[in-house]
Amino acid sequence: RGLRQPERAAVVTLAMAAGPPPPVEPSPLPTFAEEGFGEKFLRKTRENPLVPLGCLCTVGVLAYGLISFRKGNTRRSQLMMRARVVAQGFTFAALLGGMVATAIKSRQ
């Protein structure tokens, strides 16, 4: 045990003799151009066109179902509410698919 102590001291002394490590300069952060709502909406629509399509289908089916309900056509109204759920499911699946595709593309 007495022999190992001087070796440790020598290692520490050598490390201290090398001096402090050089300062690490931070890498500059990337800059992005300002993007307004319209530009961002168009870019996102081009990246994943199925999400806005699903949203439009959902709103259309919902509107038609509410019109049918107001007119008293309960059978068509119920059918449209079920179709709305299907359209929402399609929209959600398109959203998840777009996220997965973006994640896979960013890894490559």
Whole-angstrom distance, CA of residue 59 vs CA of residue 87: 9
Q: Is the pLDDT of residue 17 over 70?
A: no
Check residue 96 and give its pLDDT.
94
- Give the count of domains, the chain: 1
Whole-angstrom distance, CA of residue 37 vs CA of residue 72: 40
**In this prediction, what percent of the chain has a pLDDT beyond 90?**
49
10 in a structural domain: no
31 in a structural domain: no
Helix (H, G, I), strand (E, B) or coil at 20: coil
56 in a structural domain: yes
62 in a structural domain: yes
22 in a structural domain: no
Instruction: Domain of residue 74: give its range.
Output: 44-107
Q: pTM score > 0.95 for this model? A: no
